């Protein structure tokens, strides 16, 4: 069973994950508007992953007997000065999210909530990957600089990224919903 404080902290983080999805979707349409469709596609995959992060966290809250609450989502920035500025923003954003995840782990540790701490390990590992990939794409885009042929090559390369659901996540998990603790349904 989740404490009120842990429940609240997880709802707030789920909201930040949804904001991340919204931010990357905003970047995707920004890139579409400047006809960099590979970058737009990469951002769309990124937005999809963040939606999975959101639902996975809220699913945990519900299955642990807590209550998933939807909070207002902040409006993201709508455009960027250049592709490099957008990818720098991704890099900064992912580092900030890592800090939030680590703070959440510390709440679980302080509460001796082993189940939540173990659940959050997936996010800790995910952030290692997110930092690595944002570092990688930022370096590519920075290396291209203002050279439009190099930027177009990077755009094509990033466009090859495909979305994959994590193995333990289902977006329409009717069976999983039926198996959930009744505590989450009563509140
Ligand atoms: Fe995330
Ligand atoms: Fe992320």
φ/ψ (deg, to 5) at 43: -65, -35
Asked whether residue 182 is assigned to any structural domain, the reply reads no
Ligand nearest to the CA of 93: 2
pTM exceeds 0.95: no
DSSP symbol at 72: P
Q: Which ligand neighbours the alpha carbon of 132 most closely? A: 2
Residues with CB under 5 A from ligand 2 (ion): 130
56 CA → ligand 1 middle, Å: 10
DSSP string, 130-146: HHHHHHHHHHHHHHHTT
175 occurs within a structural domain: no
Structural domain includes residue 127: yes
Cα(127)–Cα(116) distance, integer angstroms? 17
- By CB atoms closer than 10 A (0-12, 13-18, 19+), residue 24 is buried
Indicate whether 186 belongs to any domain. no
Task: Note the ligand closest to the C-alpha atom of 45.
Answer: 2
Which among 179, 180, 90, 77 has a CA at the least distance from the CA of 133?
A: 90
Distance in Å, CA 129 to ligand 2 centroid: 9
Q: Is residue 169 part of a domain?
A: no
- Whether residue 123 is contained in a domain is answered as yes
Read off the CATH number of the domain in which 107 is found: 1.20.1260.10
State which residues form the domain around 136: 4-162
Is 170 a domain residue?
A: no
At 19, is the secondary structure helix, strand, or coil? helix
**How deeply is 74 buried, as exposed, middle or buried, from its count of CB atoms within 10 A (0-12, 13-18, 19+)?**
exposed
Residue 20 Cα to ligand 1 middle (Å): 7
Please give the chain's pLDDT, 187 residues, in tens. 899 999 999 999 999 999 999 999 999 999 999 999 999 999 999 999 999 999 999 999 999 999 999 999 999 999 999 999 999 999 999 999 999 999 999 999 999 999 999 999 999 999 999 999 999 999 999 999 999 999 999 999 999 999 988 877 877 777 777 776 555 554 4
In the block, tokens 């409006």 appear at: 75
Per the structure, the count of domains in the chain is 1
DSSP class of residue 21 equals H
Taking the centre of ligand 1 as the mean of its atom positions, its distance from the CA of residue 112, in whole angstroms, is 24
> What is d(CA 153, CA 60) in angstroms, rounded to the nearest whole number?
40
CB 12 within 8 A of CB 68: no
Nearest to 94 by CA among 175, 27, 184: 27
Tokens of 29: 């349409």
Within a domain: 171? no
**Residue 26 structure tokens:** 């905003």
- Buried/exposed 138-164: b ≥16 CB within 10 Å, e otherwise: bebbeebeeeeeebeebbeebeebeee
């Amino acid at each position: 069973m989740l404490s009120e404080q842990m429940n609240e902290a997880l709802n707030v983080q789920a909201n930040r994950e949804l904001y991340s999805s919204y931010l990357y979707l905003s970047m995707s349409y920004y890139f579409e508007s400047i006809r960099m469709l590979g970058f737009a596609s990469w951002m769309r995959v990124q937005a999809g992953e963040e939606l999975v992060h959101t639902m996975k966290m809220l699913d945990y809250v519900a299955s642990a007997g807590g209550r998933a609450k939807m909070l207002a989502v902040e409006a993201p920035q709508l455009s960027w000065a250049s592709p490099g500025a957008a990818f720098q923003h991704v890099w900064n954003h992912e580092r900030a999210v890592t800090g939030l995840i680590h703070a959440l782990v510390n709440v679980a540790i302080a509460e001796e909530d082993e189940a939540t701490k173990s659940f959050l390990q997936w996010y800790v590992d995910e952030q290692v990957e997110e930092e690595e990939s944002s570092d990688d794409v930022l370096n590519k885009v920075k290396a291209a600089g203002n050279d439009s042929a190099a930027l177009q090559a990077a755009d094509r390369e990033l466009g090859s990224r495909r979305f994959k659901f994590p193995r333990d996540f289902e977006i329409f998990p009717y069976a999983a919903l039926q198996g959930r603790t009744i505590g989450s349904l009563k509140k």
